[in-house]
Amino acid sequence: MAKVLIVGAGGVGQVVAHKCAQLPEVFSDITLASRTEAKCRKIAAQIERPIRTAQVDADDVPQMIRLIERVQPKIVINVALPYQDLHIMDACLATGVDYLDTANYEPLDEAKFEYKWQWAYHDRFKEKGIMALLGSGFDPGVTNVYTAHLHKHEFDEIEYLDIVDANAGSHGQPFATNFNPEINIREITQRGRFWEKNAWQETDPLSVKRTFDFPEGIGPMNIYLLYHEELESIARHYPKLKRARFWMTFSENYLNHLRVLQNVGMTRIEPVRFQGVDIVPIQFLKALLPDPASLGPLTKGRTCIGVVATGTRGGKRKTAFIYNICDHEAAYREVKSQAISYTTGVPAAVGAEMMLTGKWRGKGVFNMEQFDPDPFLEVIGPRGLPWKVVPLDAPME
Ligand code: NDP
């Protein structure tokens, strides 16, 4: 039984609060804090069990420390934005409290997400005797655990790894992103990158495309090569991999809107002086686009995220696909959020459960694939994200 402090009351924070509340034997006392406390209260009102709320600017480290000292949690679950990661880690170090997040640190003025800033905290967390679990969402998160499972149970050696992420759902809006638009657009518009022959290979943004036949009736969809943060930790922890790539589906309509927005400069992250004030175009665009939380009741269809691996088992070559399918409407019925927030929030709560129940323990800063995948995968199904492994006839091209 432990007290938990959740920071961030967006789409993902809402799911984490619901899922922690469903498990009182692990999360005995829940505080949800965010920049706008009204959003925390709105979420608290949806949940049958009473949870506490608080206001905090997580970028203000002394304020964050005061909140942790007042709440006395065993763990801080950071589901605010990647910009807050280091500030919340500093507050956890100062107070000696465990830390978990779902996205790696990204500086505001540079669309470049890398683990180096957070990995640099390893020795300090170790000396303090506390643990940080990085990237406990779906991708990163479950995809790292799937990779560990394939290594442990399906292959003697994996040579090629492809993470595929499909949103086969629709919200009926002309253009909207499924999670924080600023973070989402920064991720998609950067140059593509993948790991091959022990080095990073770069591609122009969204310039490499394939078709992947998604299972259980979803069918063939166009997938585009992107850089995604779990590739960095997977390449580090599985140095024998010959290649690791990440792919995501986008509709033609989404890509057309994105192209126009990019061409007119609306996705830029540098400030522009307008009528005497500095405006960051991508932040202004975020203010115009639908709030991802508002898409919950509108979104229909399913997501499918998984890992395709090709390698050897008992001297024979094989290809296997491990995946989850999540239904947007079912997620909304359960926690009033669509599947993108659901598939991120459930693993965040399960990661915290692993830490609090002692199934995953360590001193320092860790990625998900560094722990035994079995206890995590045993509970992630019953918690809402069942998974399956199937053979594939051919490796990914
Ligand atoms: P939202 O934009 O919906 O929510 C972010 C929340 O953080 C908001 O409530 C916001 O407050 C709050 N916040 C922002 N800045 C601060 C601050 N300085 N102090 C306190 N609270 C703050 O984002 P999502 O819920 O969609 O995403 C949350 C996180 O999950 C992101 O880091 C995202 O990258 C990650 N993610 C990870 C995925 C994965 O699979 N690993 C997939 C999807 C998302 P306010 O309302 O006042 O703005």
Banded model confidence at residue 204, pLDDT cuts 50, 70, 90: very high
User: Could you give the 3-state DSSP secondary structure of residue 52?
Assistant: strand
Atom of ligand 1 nearest to the CA of 137: 41
CA distance 183 to 283: 10
Calculate mean pLDDT across residues 39-46. Answer: 97
Asked whether residue 144 carries a pLDDT value surpassing 90, the answer given is yes
Is 139 close to ligand 1, i.e. is its CB under 6 Å away? yes
pLDDT tens for each residue of 210-267: 999 999 999 999 999 999 999 999 999 999 999 999 999 999 999 999 999 999 999 9
- For residues 338 and 202, the answer to whether their CB atoms sit within 8 Å is no
Provide DSSP, 303-363.
EEEEEEEEEEETTEEEEEEEEEEEEHHHHHHHHSS-HHHHHHHHHHHHHHHHHHTTSS--S
Calculate mean pLDDT across residues 29-38. Answer: 98
Asked whether residue 20 carries a pLDDT value surpassing 80, the answer given is yes
- Looking up tokens 């065993």 gives 74
Atom of ligand 1 nearest to the CA of 182: 2
- pLDDT at position 139 is 97
* Mean model confidence pLDDT for the chain: 96
- pLDDT at position 92 is 98
- pLDDT at position 108 is 83
Is 345 close to ligand 1, i.e. is its CB under 6 Å away? no
Asked whether residue 93 carries a pLDDT value surpassing 90, the answer given is yes
Tokens of 54: 């608080």
Is 286 close to ligand 1, i.e. is its CB under 6 Å away? no
Is 40 close to ligand 1, i.e. is its CB under 6 Å away? no
Is 103 close to ligand 1, i.e. is its CB under 6 Å away? yes
CA distance 346 to 178: 16
Atom 14 of ligand 1, nearest CA residue: 80
Asked whether residue 1 carries a pLDDT value surpassing 90, the answer given is no
Task: Please report, as a single letter, which amino acid is at residue 114.
Answer: E
Is 188 close to ligand 1, i.e. is its CB under 6 Å away? no
Phi-psi label, residue 275: left if phi above 0, alpha if psi -120 to 50, beta otherwise:
left
Atom of ligand 1 nearest to the CA of 102: 41
**Which sign does the torsion angle of CA 101, 355, 16, 249 carry?**
positive
Helix axes 142-149, 230-237, angle to 10 degrees: 30
Is 73 close to ligand 1, i.e. is its CB under 6 Å away? no
Is 347 close to ligand 1, i.e. is its CB under 6 Å away? no
Asked whether residue 70 carries a pLDDT value surpassing 90, the answer given is yes
- For residues 100 and 355, the answer to whether their CB atoms sit within 8 Å is yes
- pLDDT at position 207 is 94
Atom 8 of ligand 1, nearest CA residue: 10
Q: Tell me the β-bridge partners of 203.
A: 192
DSSP assigned state of 137: B
- pLDDT at position 293 is 80
**Distance in Å, CA 8 to ligand 1 centroid:** 6
Asked whether residue 181 carries a pLDDT value surpassing 90, the answer given is no
- pLDDT at position 34 is 98
Calculate mean pLDDT across residues 114-134. Answer: 97
- Core vs surface per residue 3-22: b (16+ CB within 10 A) or e: bbbbbbbbbbbbbbbbbbbb
pLDDT tens for each residue of 72-85: 999 999 999 999 99
DSSP assigned state of 394: S
Asked whether residue 180 carries a pLDDT value surpassing 90, the answer given is no
Per-range mean pLDDT, top range of 255-264, 290-299, 370-379: 370-379
CA distance 344 to 179: 10
Calculate mean pLDDT across residues 327-340. Answer: 95
Is 37 close to ligand 1, i.e. is its CB under 6 Å away? no
- For residues 158 and 237, the answer to whether their CB atoms sit within 8 Å is no
Calculate mean pLDDT across residues 159-164. Answer: 98
Residues in the chain, total: 397
- For residues 260 and 252, the answer to whether their CB atoms sit within 8 Å is no
- For residues 105 and 195, the answer to whether their CB atoms sit within 8 Å is no
Phi-psi label, residue 18: left if phi above 0, alpha if psi -120 to 50, beta otherwise:
alpha
- pLDDT at position 44 is 98
Banded model confidence at residue 377, pLDDT cuts 50, 70, 90: very high
Calculate mean pLDDT across residues 336-358. Answer: 97
Banded model confidence at residue 184, pLDDT cuts 50, 70, 90: confident
Banded model confidence at residue 110, pLDDT cuts 50, 70, 90: confident
Atom 11 of ligand 1, nearest CA residue: 35
CA distance 26 to 20: 8
**Distance in Å, CA 59 to ligand 1 centroid:** 13
- For residues 324 and 216, the answer to whether their CB atoms sit within 8 Å is no
User: Measured at the alpha carbon of residue 369, what is the angle toward residues 204 and 126, in degrees to the nearest 5?
Assistant: 110
Provide DSSP, 272-310.
EEETTEEE-HHHHHHHHSPPGGGGGGG-EEEEEEEEEEE
Phi-psi label, residue 217: left if phi above 0, alpha if psi -120 to 50, beta otherwise:
left
- pLDDT at position 344 is 97
- pLDDT at position 101 is 98
**Distance in Å, CA 179 to ligand 1 centroid:** 8
Atom of ligand 1 nearest to the CA of 141: 41
